[in-house]
Amino acid sequence: MAETLRIGLIGAGANTRTRHIPGFQAIEGVEIVAVCNRSPESGHRVADQFGIGRAETDPEAIFGDPGIDAVCIGTWPYRHREYVVRALEAGKHVLTEARMAMNAAEAREMLEASRRHPDLVAQIVPGPPDLKSWRTVQRLVREGALGEVREVHVSILTGAALDPSAPLHWRERSDYSGVNVMAFGIYAEVVGRWFGPTRRVLADGAVFVKSRVDAETGQRREIDVPDSLGVLASLESGARVTYRFSNVAHAPAPGSTGIAAYGSQGTLHWDTTDRMQFAPLGGPLQPLEPDAGTAIDWRVERDFVDSIREGAPVTLTNFEDGVRYMQIIEAAHRSRLSGRAVDISEV
């Protein structure tokens, strides 16, 4: 049996509780030895719920423990850079929640820290919507089934922000989320995975629900993160990408949410249930199943452990790819504020 891998958690939000803790605890020879949360009460609740031996409130108790081999960071983006760099400096492998950072500069700091410690695994929780299909899409592009990809339309429309009486969400606070907006980072990551790097963006957005009550303080707080965003992007390949995101769109038209890729030899439609349809030029759309053996479910924790134990390369998602999507997000942020197109090379 493999030597026990001991993990410390910093931040035990919803994704940590529903995904990371059960995922790690299902792997033989992995032990979660400590959890550090924002308050003693919340830390002890998580420790008691999952049978974790220690609950801490100071992250240094995790970083400074020589018995902890790896750290899983489940905080909001405002702490990712600080905790990732500290974990690597302490000689610990690190898995950090997405989005990678508050901005591109922080993401680059994290990448540089990982390069100073090439013996340590540094991984970002991936955008998960295309886990079953991404390898198949990459094959279609690589083999030329789509021909020259000319247009990609990304449309993610929900009514999640329509209720003005709902409490303030951390994603609606730029002091917690930085330049990240709704699901833009997730789908910028997906588009990059499928079709390659972005060259330039032009963005516009709006905040329709302009304030909410912060449940922690009881005070009303102004919202500065858009709940409606449009981005026009040019890829290095020459393809054009149109992004539409909205959290104030009730009952979007059937089939309007997902990704459509239009090439000179074929069309691909993907929906947010991770199902695909493909039409060769002149032919009808037909369901497309993922290539045999490529349709994976959530296995982020197992991938992280495999990279530590076996040296498997980090694919979903490495820090280089994280920097690339953070550059896209920040370029769109700058474009939205300045009213001009922004090249990725500027960010």
pTM: 0.97
pLDDT, tens digit, 9 for 90 and up, residues 290-316: 999 999 999 999 999 999 999 999 999
Average pLDDT for residues 199-220, to the nearest whole number? 97
Distance from the Cα of residue 204 to its chain's centroid: 22
**pLDDT in the model for residue 236:** 98
**pLDDT in the model for residue 2:** 57
**pLDDT in the model for residue 38:** 87
Per the prediction, the chain carries an average pLDDT of 97
Average pLDDT for residues 120-137, to the nearest whole number? 97
Per-residue HEC secondary structure of the chain comes to: CCCCEEEEEECCCHHHHHHHHHHHHCCCCEEEEEEECCCHHHHHHHHHHHCCCEEECCCHHHHCCCCCCEEEECCCHHHHHHHHHHHHHCCCEEEECCCCCCCHHHHHHHHHHHHHCCCCCEEECCCCCCCCCHHHHHHHHHHCCCCCEEEEEEEEECCCCCCCCCCCCHHHCHHHHCCCCCCHHHHHHHHHHHHCCEEEEEEEEECCCCEEECCCCCCEEECCCCCEEEEEEEECCCCEEEEEEECCCCCCCCCCCEEEEEECCEEEEEECCCEEEEEECCCCCEEECCCCCCCCCCCHHHHHHHHHHHCCCCCCCCHHHHHHHHHHHHHHHHHHHHCCCEEHHHC
- Does 5-125+299-314 match 134-296 in CATH topology? no
Distances (CA, A) of 254 to 156, 172, 246: 12, 27, 15
CATH superfamily for domain 134-296 = Dihydrodipicolinate Reductase; domain 2 (3.30.360.10)
CATH number attached to the domain at 5-125+299-314: 3.40.50.720
**pLDDT in the model for residue 194:** 98
**pLDDT in the model for residue 305:** 98
| Residue 310 dihedral angles phi and psi, to the nearest 5° | -115, -5
Please name the residues in contact with 259: beta carbons below 8 A apart, sequence gap of 6 or more.
152, 153, 154, 155, 187, 190, 191, 268, 269, 270
**pLDDT in the model for residue 75:** 97
pLDDT, tens digit, 9 for 90 and up, residues 155-173: 999 999 999 999 999 999 9
Report the alpha-carbon distance of residue 216 to residue 246 in Å, rounded.
26
Q: How many CB atoms lie within 10 A of CB 342?
A: 22
Gyration radius of the chain over CA positions: 21
Domain boundaries, the chain: 5-125+299-314, 134-296
Average pLDDT for residues 110-119, to the nearest whole number? 98
- Asked if 329 contacts 91 with a C-beta cutoff of 8 angstroms, the reply is no
pLDDT, tens digit, 9 for 90 and up, residues 55-113: 999 999 999 999 999 999 999 999 999 999 999 999 999 999 999 999 999 999 999 99
What's the token pair of residue 24?
Answer: 């790690």
**pLDDT in the model for residue 169:** 97
Q: What pLDDT band is residue 51 in, cutting at 50, 70 and 90?
A: very high
Q: What pLDDT band is residue 255 in, cutting at 50, 70 and 90?
A: confident
**pLDDT in the model for residue 1:** 39
- Asked if 37 contacts 17 with a C-beta cutoff of 8 angstroms, the reply is no
Name the pairing type of β-strands 342-343 and 198-206: antiparallel
